[in-house]
Chain A
Amino acid sequence: MPRLTATQRHSVRFRLNGHPVEGSAEPRMQLADFLRHELGATGTHVGCEHGVCGACTVLVDGMLTRSCLTLAVQVDGCDVRTVEGLAPERGRLSVLQAAFRRHHGLQCGFCTPGVLMSLDRYLSTNPNPTEDQLRELLSGHLCRCTGYTPIIRAAMEAAATLASSTRQEDSTHV
């Protein structure tokens, strides 16, 4: 049972988008600050620091997580996924990201990383969402630019694309 003292920095290690990372943090450091300023993963944004706006949403061990409501030391040893890990490879966009671009699902792009994390997670387990389900999911995110409709359209299209590609994969396996 380690007791991490308040005034010192302590080593924190976890997997970030599949790669091992390490940095040091005081116990009080928010995961969002650790990702951004210790690890340089600035794709995750900070909008409110009280868990409402959703811009800082990441995945920790598969769970949607407000990284402002999480301490860096809490995720030691965990699997953390952020917006930087969504694309299949550098310089390309995932199906969801490409759908956002096609439907103008973003303007300033500040809330977008958190929105993408929620949708990516949700679509991976709910391949045929209704618009109402997506709107309810997105009620955990604030966007001031788009009025949300283009985001919903992008997500619906991405879901359809992913579902059809899954069907294709299934049929090729048969």
Chain B
Amino acid sequence: MKPAAFDYVRADTLDEALAVLAAEGGDARIIAGGQSLMAMLNMRLARPKVLVDIMRIGDLDRIAEERGRIVVGAGVRQAKLLAWSELAAKLPLVALALPWTGHEQTRSRGTICGSVAHADPSAETPLCLIALEGEVHLRSARRRRVVAAGDFITGMMNTARQDDEMIEAVSFPIRAGNGYGFREVARRHGDFAITACAAIASANGIRLAVAGVADKPEVRNWPDLDGSALDDALNAFAYELDARDDIHATARYRRDLVRQIGREVIMEARRCRA
């Protein structure tokens, strides 16, 4: 269980990393924390020709507040964001969800942007980014662009990133006054979510995002529904997610969790709403 051979580039600057991507395209792969990619390399599921290590590039491990958004650079490890003193105040949903990502021993290495780039349908960070209407900041040698998180993740482990692009940062809007709820059901602590639900209650109503069921996190916006109207909305959402069976859970179980946990987190978010 050893990786196939690849070249390794330790980029000192962003331009160097982008130059390799421009030259090698789909044969190159960025390695940051490596917590998803390395397992795939060891199993020879992934066989890039060159790995570009971006963790020595200065400035990428920045957490900054800019124009009402929290910008998280490509070098920011999950543990660093989790330990950031302003997290609970600025991004309460992320503060609730991030402890569910893997274990202390993987959060210490894995990065926020790497999790978004990997686009695992069960992952908490893409769920939060989509739920919060965050953005993905892409950079290539030729251009910079910003893609809404909901558009960035196009399917299971599929994103709108072009081969010559890398994620430079992701950004989460800061929304004062909203209430948040998060809950996840997994087989064991730290496992991939069978179903993870994130709810945001704002002045405009409720927003529910679900990971682990469809090929990517899916979102619905509703007015402040209650009672059977909320049940019906959750039920419709549960079916629309087109859940599947696997060895860990059945489709029916996942739909049940969307209905039940979805309702729970919505109630929780409403309670927390200012």
A: which residues have CB within 8 A of B? 1-7, 26-28, 30, 33, 49-51, 54, 57, 63-66, 68-71, 73-74, 76, 118, 122, 136-137, 139-141
Contact = CB atoms under 8 A, between A and B. Distances in A.
B42 A140 contact: no
B6 interface: yes
Interface stretch (B10-18, B131-139, B230-238): B10-18
Contacts, number: 111
Contact of B8 (A30, A66, A73, A140): A73
Nearest to A66: B105
Contact of A4 (B8, B11, B12, B42): B8
B34 A3 contact: no
B110 to A, nearest CB: 9
Contact of B103 (A49, A74, A140): A140
B154 interface: no
A63 B5 CA distance: 27
B26 interface: no
A50 B1 CA distance: 9
A27 B108 contact: no
Interface in B24-45: 31, 34-35, 38-39, 41-43
A7 B35 contact: no
B113 interface: no
Given A27-B51, A63-B109, A139-B103, A68 B38 contact: yes
Number of chain B interface residues as a range: 35 or more
Contact of A69 (B49, B50, B109): B109
Contacts of A54: 103, 105
B176 interface: no
A33 B41 CA distance: 15
B52 to A, nearest CB: 10
A28 B104 contact: no
B106 A28 contact: no
B124 to A, nearest CB: 16
Contacts of B188: 139
